[in-house]
Structure 1
Amino acid sequence: MTSAREDTGESGGLTTGEVARRLGVAPTTVRSWDRRYGLGPDAHTGGKHRRWTAADIARLERMCALTTTGVPPAEAARLAREGAPLDTRQPSAEAAGVSRSGPVRSRARTGLQLGDVRQECKGLARAALRLDAAALDELLASVITAHGLVTAWNEVIMPTLQAVGRKWETSGEKYVEVEHFLSWHVAGALRRGSPPVAAERPGATVVLACVPGESHTLPLEVLAAALAERGLPVRMFGAALPVEALVEAVRRTGPAAVGLWAQSRTTASRPLAQHVAAMEWGVRGARRQPVVLTLGPGWAGRTLPGLLRPTGLVEALAAVESVVRR
């Protein structure tokens, strides 16, 4: 196992940016803790950049752990300076930041049951629990840029969201604000990172909508962003689209595929999906119908002849691309 001494490197330690990525905070937060609470590096090296040793980072990790549990920052800083250092036996800072070389796993000290996940989940979880908007936006942008949207969603963002959801379910309505906060910032990161909407191409448009009564839009937003990355024209209609509006949207766009998201079995409507799949448009003799994808856990266990049932983002992308090419 790599030691903390090896992580920081005997020759000089980590930069402030590397420490921030490792902890899941913004670099400005690290500098602020140094300036306000005296949690900076013990030793100073030559040059303009300060370097952080394993002992310095252990104090900051304790600061993170204490503020995550609600301890005021000034008190957390005092305890961090006086208390025993936390276990710093973690992967190197380069890998703990945004590594392109493959998954780096972490059993994070965040209070969330993350399990064996990528190291970046630790940063997201800490930033979300602290309601640190700046750090969260920076981390999300970094992980999407480094790994690509699909890997970032499947291996970093979704596991963190699921851990927050489990914490909410087992804590008596606590942490609801954390889930909403994290979801909001993920949606913002998707929009900021998505390319411009592709121009209409006859027979290639994809319509995405939540079924009536369904308000969970984030997985659809991920799919929309991933399709936009691939240059496919997408029309996203968001939460709880009424039946009449959905039918009108399909009629006006003439899509190759329609994705209907249902989070709950109570909102998944088999008659609605079949009605959309039976719609036709085009000139007589060359009429077309959309391929309907039933998306989300609400459709689980339901066999709907003629409708596609992809079970994840990768499978949904493959299904849509196959339909458009056809």
Structure 2
Amino acid sequence: MEQQDRRAGQLLSDHHPKIMHYQSEVNMTIVFPASVWHGGPMSLLDARGGRTGRRSNGTEHSLAADPTSAGAIVELDAVTMRFGQHTVTEPISLRIGAGEVVCIVGPSGCGKTTLLRAIAGLMRPSNGSVQIDGHDAANAPDGVAMVFQHFGLFPWKSVQANVAYPLRLRGVPKQAASQRAGELIALMGLGGFEHSYPHQLSGGMQQRTGLARALAADPRVLLMDEPFGALDAQTREVLQFELLRTWREQPVTTVFVTHSIDEAVLFGDRVVVLNGCPSAVVEVIDVKLPNRHDRDVLRSAQFIDLREHVWSLVMADAHGAQARGVRDHPVGA
């Protein structure tokens, strides 16, 4: 079993020597600072009671949680992304506050996923900088969790073991990891399925398990790239409102990439619209929806007006971007 974990959790450092990222056999990536891998075992206990870490020499130090903080501040300063001679984005500047949810929309090929990778520290900007709480993204002191459309659960692990895996990977004692995993399983509405295996779960339940696993890493920044894109409409809507509830109970700075304008308006404190080639920020829209946790908000005049406005901005250049055939990132990038 341990050998399977080692194979599935192989460490890749090609993107930048300061960042190691763990990628499962399918497509779920959790990014941790390199110190977690190279600095010896580190314990992360229940954040509600404060955290304790263990240095490589065995001594413990306090990592008490800041009750006023809901995540990290992310700052993009004139970020330009290029692949060879191809410029993907013009200089983009954006500040994302602690605990804020920012959704990025735009036509296919405008560089949305590329920006997520830059924030994760997996790619360096060609120009400009990305900082997390004042630190270069590739050297951020706390972890960044990045989840994709397919969460890639380990098929040989139960729901409980899948969710606890990032904690065990960081040296958290089994009992503490199991307790924290149980809290997240309950938060995601999976109580009673702790001992089930991925093949015994519906698609929506697998997605909830994957999200719980990402949150188990206690990320200060959560990066999400079309996480509900493969789901049917009914399951997608259910999970959308479950995610809203999760953010309310466990706030975290989130950057959410989606092709669904409805999803962007529903989730985002702000919606960033990209367009053009190279792409640039067309508009940053403040979203102040009352009662966004109520499904009736989807039929409100304010929601519909915001959706139509974002749609008009995205469609202004959508056909041109598709005709150019620009990809978010080239194969192997």
Fold match, TM over 0.5?
no
**TM-score (structure 2 length as normaliser):** 0.25
Larger radius of gyration: 1
Higher helix content, 1 or 2: 1
Question: Which gives a bigger RCO, structure 1 or 2 (Cα 8 Å, sep 6+)?
Answer: 2
**TM-score (structure 1 length as normaliser):** 0.25
